[in-house]
Amino acid sequence: MFKLNFFILFFLFSLQVFPSQNIRHLSVDDGLPQSFVSALEQDDEGFVWIGTRNGLSRYDGQNFKTYQHHFNTQNSLASNTIDYLRKGKRNSLWIKYETAGIDYFDINSGKINHIIDAEFLDKNKLSIHRKSWLVAHDGFLWFKTLKNELFSFNLQSKKLSHRNLNFDKDEIIYNILEDKNKNIWVLTQKNLKIFDEKNNSFTSISIPYHMFADKLYQNNSEAALFRQRKNGELMWADKEYFYFFNPIKKTFRSEKLPFSTLYHIKLLSTDVQGKEYFVADNIIYSYTNALGFRKITAINLENDRPPQAFLVDNSGLMWIGGDAEGIYTVDPKLNFQSFHFEKDFAADLLKNYYGISLYDFFNWKKQNGILPASYFLRSVTTQNKNWIALNRTVSYYDKQQKKIFRLPELPKVKNVGFAPIKGISLYDESPIVMDELNNIYLFKNAKWELLFSLHNFNADIKPTNIYFDGKTKILWVTTESHGIVKANLKTRKIDNIKNNTKDFPVNHLISLAADPKNDDILWMGSNDGLIQYHKKNNKVKIFSGKEGLPDNVIYSILPDQSGNLWMGTNKGLFKFDTQTHKVRVFTRSHGLENIEFNRFHQLMLPNGKMAFGGAKSGVVFSPEDIKNDNFSPPTAITRIALNNENINLTERNLKPVNQIKELSIDYFENTVSIGFAALQYNQPQQIQYRYRLKGYQDEWISAGNSTEAVFTKLPPGNYIFEVNATNTTGNWSTLIKSLKIEVTPPWWKTWWAILLYLMILIGGVFWLIRFKINQEIIKKTITLKQKEARELRRLDKIKTKFFANIAHEFRTPLSLIIGPAEQLKSVESQDEKEMLFGMIKKNTNSLIQLTDQLIDVAKLEAGVLKPHFMWGDVVPVISNIINAFLETTSEKGIKLSLEAPEKAEFLFSINTLDRILYNLISNSIKFCKNGDTITVKIDTETDGLLIQVVDSGAGIPEDEQAEIFERYFKGSNQDQLQGNGLGLSLVKELVDLHHGTIDVKSSTQNPSGTTFLVWLPFESQNNKLPQNTEHQQNSEEKATILIVEDHKELAQFIAGNLADLYHVLTAENGKQALEMTLEKMPNLILSDVAMSEMDGFEFCKTLKTNVEINHIPIIMLTAKADTESKLEGLSHGANDYIVKPFSIKELKLRIENLLNLQNQQYKYFQKQLLQPDSTENLHQEFLNRIYEIIEKNLDDNNFSVDELASALSMSRTSLHRKVKMMFNIPTGEIIKIYRLKKAAELLKQNFSISEVAYMTGFNTPSYFTKCFKEYFGKTPNKYH
């Protein structure tokens, strides 16, 4: 094997490198006022400020805005010759001029204050050094003069003070700074001096001689670099070293520069992370403690003069101010190195990166007529080796040994002059290749072995590249016309996957690469895009321009170590993330000289960089150096124009344009132009904009690269203008700039004008409405009077007819009363008398019924007819009503019957039910004849009482059925029948009063008959009750009622009626009630008698014998109305007795009376608390027992409620509740009152106050005196 020693000419290679496209030049042609740039600063908003010898300029990435000196103008620069700039607090700048002193520029307001002017300098014979000055935190301006003196200037008092440093005469002041701890430091030729503010003096720290020793500037006019680092160290530099001082440890150290410089290092800047960058001999370097010095890039200035200013802005872009050369910006995120070909892509790279010529590398003979070598370049890279194939030769570079090894040439093929290698891969770290003749060779045992040939399979497949899968032993071959060929080297099976199948849609394949992170995926470049191919399932996905690719033709693919693919196309280079499928395109704006790349022009270099080539030039870069842009640029408003004229800030008393938060304009200024710029200065052509005017256009409008928004003829209103920009990667910034805009309406559209219009309109509308109303009133009055007249005539006719009918109705029974009464005079037979008396009674009842109907009608009209509800069984009531008609129906031969359940208990009104059934049955009787039937049906399964009165009578004509419930209506078939037209109308109104319904079904055809259906809802309050049995109320003053009833519906009915007045509890039997009574201590109990478990009598007896609860009054509620049952209940201690069915009103009155009686007892017993009554009752008996126990323990000051409860054989809680319920005062209060009244008696017996206090159980006389005064209103002294 031929072996070559490797050498690489890294810094001295002969590539013709273009000026890097990541360097941009700004000059007077771009708007810079002058090409000598003395200072660079970036303000809080992101604008870059440039100091020149022709004014101060602000740059926004698009335009320069220049501030200059104007004679006799207060708010202008003191001079146009800017010497230096320092950033101040709260978005401000300190400006130093060459000869005109120092100004303070408030950027937010646009105001310039002259701090030190030329007159002051002349008066004090001062000349401030260009960079050796600062504004300290305490309001002092420190500066060094050209005479090597140090002064401080009080910004408020304008007092100038000379600062004595106490140094040698030949010691030079180099620079001053203020550190993070607000200490002032001075760097001299031999010392570091720190200012002691308390003592108003400096303390010196000697610099080691071997570090300094006259190495710094000998010229007093120059200022040394002097800064504080992010880690707190102080640093300065000369031509050879960086020097560092740790203020905490008081230690020095130095770092030697790895290069020599012509000038002292004076320009240094830090990025937002604190990383330091500096300029030396027109080359930018970085420095960190970990990595030391690193070269970034070189700046090719046209003259030999060193740059004057240096700045790293917020996005990491580097700015260099040149001496008469304007500004250069350097984007370190884009480090592409483009170069022209001397020969071709492969030859130049081999020569300049591998240090050997193409012919030597492959041992070629120089022959004419051979095609350019790069078109036959194939390569594959592993961790330690770079394999390269050209023509029929393979070589590799060993990264560890840093040597090149060349393998023997592939075996020659007879009768074939040129058959180059078309693909290379690795088989167990040995190269496997495929030539143009479709022969597959493996380098094994130091020679090439022909594994097999695809020539017999298809001689015309034209391979472009290969990939060998070591796990499956499958060789994948991309071809120019037959898609992809899959050759299994173990089984010798060959498959062709091409576009005549559904699995693979493309035939022409150019480039091939394995996925860096997924062994199952191959990536192939084609004329139709990037193909993702899954080897296991043949699944294919194509990425094209729709997915963001710059071009569909993929010439070359190289994977990087991060899993990305880098690809060359006709329209630029792009990076493809194989995981997220994100695409980032690189073109000329990113630093590429050439964007049209060639097939197979790709190569990994020994230093890990990638190389891609085109027709005449190529590009070299390190993938790690091409960083994503994560900066979120702020967007600034740079211009506002109204009707195409820039607004005059002075006339409108406005701040600088970008500081304006709200803008109010007149209605005729409604064409608004707003200029804006993203304050990110690298690759401005990559930045995209979008804007919207909320309230006018709420959706974002894409502006592309345009930096202006124009809105024409904005209507009056309030709007919010918002603008947003992307960074250079295309990610939208999180910072959105907004401006509120108010377009004021013309005076005729102002609110007060609109209010006036509205008032006029309202007045006109009001007058018109009033006029219309009056007209309508007149019209309706006339119509109403006409209608009233017709109605009066109709009513008069109806009343006349009604009174005639009523007269007839009264006359008939009266006749049947008078006639039999007269006959009674002459009749002697007792049977005849009884018959006549019966007739009189019957007709008298008819008169009474007729009179009741008339009274009910009157009550309904007056709205005073109210139902009276009672609880009971409705079946007997209805049965009694029907029985009253049996004699009449029997006489007429009509069969009257009732169909009803055995029992139906609920709340109902007997009077209402009686009137409804009486009129319905009476109506049916009128229309029935001998042999007909009348059936009354009762049903309670419809959430109410359903009554059906069914007869087989003549029926009601269909056209009259809708009118039968109208008052005074008589049907056509009633002319021969008695009737007054009131009955059915009364039924309808009574049903409506109960919120029920009534309907009629009738037929006059055979079979004829009529059915009246009446539905009355149950008058139950179940829906008002909560689900549990305890009905809680909000008011704590309500008494508690316990209802003991095993009939659930009756218990809920009673509870529902009492719930608004009392706390209600329910129990189903006496046993449960006894437990609840002991737990809840109700104020009154309602108890049924007949119950399971424990009946009412036993419950009452048990309750009255329990000392804890025997004070609670009880009302017995039962269907047993006999005297013996009442006496038994009363004998067991019941306080009252109510018989079912009962009136709820009566029940409420009885409860109220018992509770009132209980309250009266409270008051009585409170009044007579210490004067026991001789009346024997439970309350007095219980109170007497309490008095006896207190009396026995009167002088015991430890006697408490617990001892009292124990003596009474009760719990403390039970005693407290019983006393509270019986006397309405706390138990402890009874003990206290008893003691105090006993004390009053003892005081009258001339005992001393102390004696009485201890005799009645008080701990101290003072406490006794306090309690005595609170109760009696006077002290014990005054009492007796």
Report d(CA 170, CA 635) in Å as an integer.
Answer: 52
The whole-number pLDDT of residue 479 equals 93
| Cβ within 8 Å of residue 61, ≥6 positions away | 677, 678, 679, 680, 681, 684, 687
Do the beta carbons of residue 607 and residue 353 sit within 8 Å? yes
* Residues in the chain, total: 1280
Neighbours of 7 (CB within 10 A): 11
Would the pLDDT of 599 be above 80?
yes
The whole-number pLDDT of residue 862 equals 61
732 secondary structure, DSSP code: B
Least confident of 20-29, 86-95, 544-553: 20-29
Strand 1040-1044, strand 1030-1031: pairing: unpaired
pLDDT top residue among 541 and 1022 = 541
Report d(CA 1137, CA 1115) in Å as an integer.
Answer: 6
pLDDT digits (tens, 9 = 90+) for 726-777: 999 889 999 999 999 999 999 888 888 888 989 999 999 989 998 988 888 8
At 658 the three-state DSSP class reads helix
Would the pLDDT of 1027 be above 50?
no
Which among 922, 915, 919 has a CA at the least distance from the CA of 889? 922
What is the arithmetic mean of pLDDT over 25-53? 96
Report d(CA 454, CA 485) in Å as an integer.
Answer: 9
Angle between helix axes 830-862 and 910-927 (nearest 10 degrees) is 120
The whole-number pLDDT of residue 366 equals 55
Q: Measuring CA to CA, how many Å separate 728 from each of 45, 187, 725?
A: 19, 41, 10
Share of the chain above pLDDT 90, in %: 42
pLDDT digits (tens, 9 = 90+) for 217-243: 455 445 678 999 999 999 999 888 999
Which among 417, 519, 503 has a CA at the least distance from the CA of 468? 519
Rg (CA), the chain: 57
The whole-number pLDDT of residue 8 equals 33
The whole-number pLDDT of residue 1274 equals 86
The whole-number pLDDT of residue 694 equals 97
The whole-number pLDDT of residue 501 equals 61
The whole-number pLDDT of residue 779 equals 87
Report d(CA 810, CA 288) in Å as an integer.
Answer: 125
Do the beta carbons of residue 866 and residue 990 sit within 8 Å? no
Would you call 482 exposed, middle or buried from its count of C-beta atoms within 10 A (0-12, 13-18, 19+)? Answer: buried
Mean pLDDT over each residue of the chain, to the nearest integer: 85
The whole-number pLDDT of residue 3 equals 38
308 token code pair: 């004057």
Which among 279, 286, 248, 249 has a CA at the least distance from the CA of 261? 279
At 1262 the three-state DSSP class reads helix
Provide the phi-psi class of 355: left if phi over 0, else alpha when psi is between -120 and 50, else beta.
left
What is the arithmetic mean of pLDDT over 638-654? 92
Q: What are phi and psi of 655, to 5 degrees?
A: -75, 175
1141 cis-preceded (ω within 30 degrees of 0)? yes
Report d(CA 482, CA 509) in Å as an integer.
Answer: 8
pLDDT digits (tens, 9 = 90+) for 1077-1108: 888 889 899 998 888 788 888 888 888 888 77
The whole-number pLDDT of residue 1237 equals 87
pLDDT top residue among 1123 and 638 = 638
Report d(CA 854, CA 843) in Å as an integer.
Answer: 17
Longest dimension (CA), the chain: 171
pTM of the full predicted structure?
0.57
The whole-number pLDDT of residue 18 equals 44
pLDDT band at 1176 (very low <50, low <70, confident <90, very high): very low
Query: What domains lie within the chain, and their CATH numbers?
Result: 23-119+291-332 (2.130.10.10), 126-256 (2.130.10.10), 337-625 (2.130.10.10), 635-749 (2.60.40.10), 866-1017 (3.30.565.10), 1022-1157 (3.40.50.2300), 1168-1280 (1.10.10.60)
pLDDT digits (tens, 9 = 90+) for 406-440: 899 999 888 777 789 999 999 989 999 999 999 99
Report d(CA 526, CA 737) in Å as an integer.
Answer: 44
